[in-house]
Amino acid sequence: MPRTCLSVILAAGEGTRMKSSRAKVLHEVAGLPMVAHAVLAAKAAGTDAVALVTGRDAEAVEKAARAVAPQSTVHVQAERLGTAHAVLAARASIEPGFDDLLILFGDTPLVRSQTLEAARAVLAEGADICVVGFRTADPTGYGRLIEREGDVIAIREEKDASADEKKIGFCNAGIMAVRGETVLSLLDAVGNNNAKGEYYLTDIVAIARERGGVVKAIEAGAEEVLGVNNRVELAAVEAIWQDRKRREAMLAGATLIAPETVFFSFDTALGLDVVVEPNVVFGLGVVVADGVAIHAFSHLEGAKLARGTSVGPYARLRPGTDLGEGAKVGNFCETKNARIEAGAKVNHLSYIGDARIGSNTNVGAGTITCNYDGLNKWFTDIGANVFVGSDTALVAPVSVADGAFIGSGSVITEDVPADALAIARSRQVVKEGRAVEIRARTAAMKAQKSSKPA
């Protein structure tokens, strides 16, 4: 029978070094708050329930966590009395009983679910506690994991470590898996007889050992357990996350011409044989099917791209954009809340918002849908096989039926029937020889200005 698991995510820190009006754990990595990254990792590791310990901006932190785990329980740590005290704030969620308890932090967004699974596996093999550690060439400031014959016998903080212990490069990452049946007893036994008068989670290692328990450690990569305390560290974590995602995308069948210049969101989904040129940014909510080409300097957000579509260069796809199979949105075009159906083309310098462009329709350069009247948004509906001439303004609400032809430079304010030609511009007037007169007149004006004293 599968082991049950509760994950307690500590997210109550003030985060003063972020110099921000928001709680630290609300700052985003790849468009997702850090606390939500931790929740997703816990869920992927087989967590049955999530208990969130909050402090500053409790409602906003709760909202961020519940966006990815709606059934999360929330517990406020009113006083900051140490990590063990923080875990005990979730007592009501711990008491029902779980086989495993995972303890992790809302400001370590790079932790992998595989690491959490490995820690749980150690409990399944009989350990009472599994501590996640990492190795670093410069362990200064970190608690050291003291091991003997494969067991962790203590976690020694830097200030309490001997000279030999300070040479140990195996450090405490803070993440733990604890056997559920003993965790409350261990936490309740933690005292605060220390310089800060706080209750330290690390003390449960010694307590468990004194009771004859088994404490093991597993090793995670140092980058994986990086915590974020300021914006410099936030940028470093973002860079690591992006490198991970780029590698995953390429190994999964996408071509990134210049990977280091492509930026993803946490939920970006790419199909097979997608080609992404340099300097492309994926905002939230982008789904790309097989065989799509995304050309350089394009920005996509909230968009769905069907098989074989082409975007850019220098295109901006805003939320609600839905490209049908083989559709094209070309250079310097912007779309928003627009369905562009199979084979349709919006090639150059156009804005298509709150609109449908039917299959195999061609939208000429400089065309815009005039969808906003200052208060309300209005819809433009263009049918299949329509030709829209360059520099056309479609004043919504308006519809153009299948097969219609719109003359270049038109301002379309009324519906156009199927297979009709619509021209809405002033008739051209030609006056022979008038250009000579105009040039003579303007030259005389210029000469008159030049003759005046300065």
Statement: residue 454 has pLDDT above 70: no
Whole-number average pLDDT of the chain? 94
The residue to which tokens 């490995």 are assigned: 118
Confidence tier at 80 by pLDDT (50, 70, 90) = confident
Statement: residue 157 has pLDDT above 90: no
Note the pLDDT of residue 428. 84
Residue ranges of the domains in the chain? Answer: 5-219, 246-422
Q: How far is CA 116 from CA 17, 51, 96, 103, 237, in A?
A: 28, 16, 21, 10, 19
> Which amino acid is located at 322 in the chain?
D
Q: Could you tell me which residues are beta bridge partners of residue 128?
A: none
Q: Which CATH topology does 5-219 take?
A: Spore Coat Polysaccharide Biosynthesis Protein SpsA; Chain A (3.90.550)
Q: Could you tell me which residues are beta bridge partners of residue 377?
A: 372
Mean pLDDT calculated for residue range 222-233: 95
> φ, ψ for residue 251 (rounded to 5)?
-65, -25
Answer yes or no: 27 catalytic.
no
Could you tell me the pTM of the whole model? 0.90
Mean pLDDT calculated for residue range 336-343: 98
* Listed range (154-168, 229-243, 410-424) with the worst mean pLDDT: 154-168
Mean pLDDT calculated for residue range 240-256: 98
Mean pLDDT calculated for residue range 188-217: 90
Nearest to 263 by CA among 32, 30, 37: 30
Which residues have a Cβ under 8 Å from the Cβ of 60 and sit 6 or more positions away?
Answer: 22, 23, 26
Helix (H, G, I), strand (E, B) or coil at 61: helix
Mean pLDDT calculated for residue range 157-164: 85
Confidence tier at 160 by pLDDT (50, 70, 90) = confident
Mean pLDDT calculated for residue range 108-114: 97
Q: At what angle do helices 180-188 and 203-210 cross, to 10 degrees?
A: 110
CB atoms within 10 A of CB 162: 11
Note the pLDDT of residue 403. 96
Cα 412 → chain centroid: 40
- The CATH code of the domain at 246-422 is 2.160.10.10
Q: How far is CA 440 from CA 430, 447, 450, in A?
A: 19, 11, 15
- Each residue's pLDDT tens digit, 28-42: 999 999 999 999 999
